[in-house]
Amino acid sequence: MSAADPFSLAGKRILVTGASSGIGRQIAISCAQMGAQLVVSGRNVERLAATFAELEGEGHIQFGADLSRQEDIDRLAAGAGVLDGLVHAAGISKLAPFRLISRMQLDEMFSSNVYAPMLLTKGLLAKKRIANGGSILFISALASHVGPLATGAYSASKAALLGAMRTLALEVVKQGLRANCIAPGYVRTPMLDSLNQSGGSIDEHAKLTPLGLGEPEDIAYAAVFYLSDASRWITRNYFIVDGGLTVPMDIYA
Amino acid sequence: MNNAAQKAFSLNGKTILVTGASSGLGRQIAIACAQRGARLVITGRNAARLQETHDQLAGTGHIQVTADLTIAEDRERLGQASTAIDGVVLCFGGQMLSPIRQLKEDLMTAMYRTHFLAPVMLTQRLLQANVINKQGSIVFMLSTSAHIGTRGVGPYSAMKSGLLGIIRCLAIELAPRRVRVNGISPSVVPTPQLWGEDNEQNEPLNKERQRHPLGLGTPQDVANGAIYLLSDASRWVTGTSLVMDGGAVL
């Protein structure tokens, strides 16, 4: 494919958080296949190194970081260099019925799923590390609109990203930056496996998905579109990638 | 270089049917799909302009069918000319404004025939004739007016919203064959036919431009959205519409 290909990521530097597993890992791998130089970050340095080893091309860097800690956010913002794309794929998920939600659980969930992406973006913007034409992408989740049982904290944290993204996109448009959310449905990832083991009814939901369970690639390719110049006119957008799961639901009711 | 991600965004080996290909968005979508490796079946009402589009298609094996899709025989003819289709983009149309209080039955009927009946019944023909391949993709050209209210746009808005209903139900019906059904909802893209020349005197356009944080879109932007929805990269996206609005937000 030529350099004029609007879907190519050649010449772009892209930071992907949560790249040590699941959706983040595949986004990093697919972005590298489309020609990007990656900065990958994750908590588990061994698994991060495994992702790193799978990246096509050269010039990638890896960055072990626990983004629930402000010092790690600051270190990553300072060390990432100038970026053309930023994907917030790091996140955690734990099931807890509403009556058992504790402040500690909420702090933990929001720290990873909301504060980390917001503060990392803020840190990078403050240092002017996102280049003109850059694309910022939040990986939300359809739980934000559906609210499955026992996901109160998780669903709230993913819904928060929508509001954050809408405001951010308006504020950074003058710098030529875009911000968007992708909301995946049920995708075959380690996170989904662990939810299943802790008694989630995820199998049932996967059965409800008209196109079946999604693969990490399905989210990664949507991310490639949102990071590439092919989507240069799209900002403040919340895009559902769910194999049709919510088509029979009135999620805006 | 031809790895999994690059293949996912390619249209090599796919046959794409584009309606409304004689001008505007349809023309640009056809040209962009051909550049990405697709074989095109293009259709439009104006034979001369359709030929101009055809002349701009990269590659070989494309076919053109002059047809008015509000006419059942023309849809039948197009259906017969189309075999083994991997993607359909339904984008012919045109804006007709009228406040509801002044709405004439003739205008409403014309809107219905052009914007709703024609794309829906063409889709019906293609499905009945079994010419849409497994894992194919059907894309309806909508508009942000499918989602929002704008003064005077009632008839158009209603037809585009109506297509959202078709998209959702058809997405469920075709999921077992892994055929996806989606829309594209662009905001203002200044095509000359719909908006006139884009200059300082064009007040409606300049007003629209102010409302869009990223400015107005180009036909190529919309074509890129169509390529994503037609390619295997979007094989798990169905029953939705890709909003392209330069940040103006629904």
* pLDDT bracket for residue B88 (50, 70, 90): very high
Name the least confident of A61-75, A200-214, B3-17, B18-32.
A200-214
Disruptive mutation site among A8, A132, A180, A221 for chain B (greatest number of B CBs within 10 Å): A221
Residue predicted with more confidence, B194 or A1: B194
Please answer yes or no on whether B4 and A30 come within 8 Å at the CB atom. yes
For residue B144, give both structure tokens: 């942000």
| Cβ neighbours of residue B48 closer than 8 Å, sequence gap 6 or more | none
> Token pair 């790193």 is at which residue?
A52
Please answer yes or no on whether B247 and A173 come within 8 Å at the CB atom. yes
Smallest Cα distance from B147 to chain A, Å: 12
| Cβ neighbours of residue B40 closer than 8 Å, sequence gap 6 or more | B15, B16, B17, B18, B21, B30, B33, B34, B57, B62, B63
pLDDT in tens, A112-144: 999 999 999 999 999 999 999 999 999 999 999
Average pLDDT over every residue of B141-163: 94
- Position B195 scores a pLDDT of 84
Least Cα distance to A24 among A204, A191, A174 occurs for: A191
* % of chain B with per-residue pLDDT over 90: 85
Q: Which residue among B171, B217, B233 places its CB closest to the CB of A210?
A: B171
Please answer yes or no on whether B9 and A233 come within 8 Å at the CB atom. no
Q: Which residue among B172, B239, B246 places its CB closest to the CB of A233?
A: B246
Residue A119 lies in a domain: yes
Smallest Cα distance from B104 to chain A, Å: 33
Chain B CB contacts of A218 below 8 Å? 235-237
* % of chain A with per-residue pLDDT over 70: 96
Give me the CATH number covering residue A59: 3.40.50.720
pLDDT in tens, B1-41: 589 999 999 999 999 999 999 999 999 999 999 999 999 99
Q: Which residue among A1, A218, A231 places its CB closest to the CB of B236?
A: A218
Per-position DSSP letters for chain A, written without gaps between them: --TT-TT--TT-EEEEETTTSHHHHHHHHHHHHTT-EEEEEES-HHHHHHHHHT--SS--EEEE--TTSHHHHHHHHHHS-SEEEEEE-------B-GGG--HHHHHHHHIIIIIHHHHHHHHHHHTT-EEEEEEEEEE--THHHH--TTBHHHHHHHHHHHHHHHHHHHHHGGGT-EEEEEEE-SB-SHHHHHHHHTT--HHHHHHH-TT-SB-HHHHHHHHHHHHSGGGTT--SEEEEESTTTTTTS-TT-
Please answer yes or no on whether B244 and A244 come within 8 Å at the CB atom. no
Judge whether residue B63 has pLDDT over 50: yes
Least Cα distance to A135 among A247, A21, A233, A209 occurs for: A233
CB proximity under 8 Å: B 168-187 to A: 168, 171-172, 175, 178, 180
Structural domain of A112: 13-241
Residue A222 lies in a domain: yes
Q: Which residue among A230, A234, A244 places its CB closest to the CB of B239?
A: A244
* pLDDT bracket for residue A241 (50, 70, 90): very high
> Token pair 């807890």 is at which residue?
A96
Judge whether residue A3 has pLDDT over 80: no
Disruptive mutation site among B1, B2, B7, B9 for chain A (greatest number of A CBs within 10 Å): B9
The number of C-beta contacts closer than 8 angstroms across A and B is 117
- Position A1 scores a pLDDT of 44
Taking CA–CA distances from B166, the nearest residue in chain A reads: A247
Amino acid at A197: Q
- Tell me whether B12 touches chain A (CB under 8 Å): no
Q: Are A183 and A240 in contact (CB under 8 A)?
A: yes
* pLDDT bracket for residue B160 (50, 70, 90): very high
Average pLDDT over every residue of A77-91: 97
How many structural domains are present in chain A? Answer: 1
pLDDT in tens, A147-171: 888 999 999 999 999 999 999 999 9
Smallest Cα distance from A71 to chain B, Å: 33
Per-position DSSP letters for B36-49, written without gaps between them: TT-EEEEEES-HHH
- Position A202 scores a pLDDT of 66
- Examine the residue annotation and report whether A154 is marked as an active-site residue of this protein: yes
Chain B CB contacts of A23 below 8 Å? none
Name the helix (H) or strand (E) containing B184. Answer: strand B180-186
> What is the C-alpha separation between A223 and B97, in angstroms, rounded?
37
Q: Are B194 and B208 in contact (CB under 8 A)?
A: no
> What is the C-alpha separation between A186 and A33, in angstroms, rounded?
24
Out of A115, A154, A186, A226, the active site residue is A154
Q: Which residue among B6, B236, B245 places its CB closest to the CB of A34?
A: B6
Residue predicted with more confidence, B191 or B234: B234
CATH of the domain spanning B11-243: 3.40.50.720
- Tell me whether B220 touches chain A (CB under 8 Å): yes
Smallest Cα distance from A227 to chain B, Å: 13
Chain B CB contacts of A217 below 8 Å? 4, 8
Please answer yes or no on whether B6 and A224 come within 8 Å at the CB atom. no
Chain A CB contacts of B233 below 8 Å? 221-222, 224-225
What are the residue boundaries of the structural domains of chain B, listed by start?
Answer: 11-243
Please answer yes or no on whether B247 and A221 come within 8 Å at the CB atom. no
- Tell me whether B51 touches chain A (CB under 8 Å): no
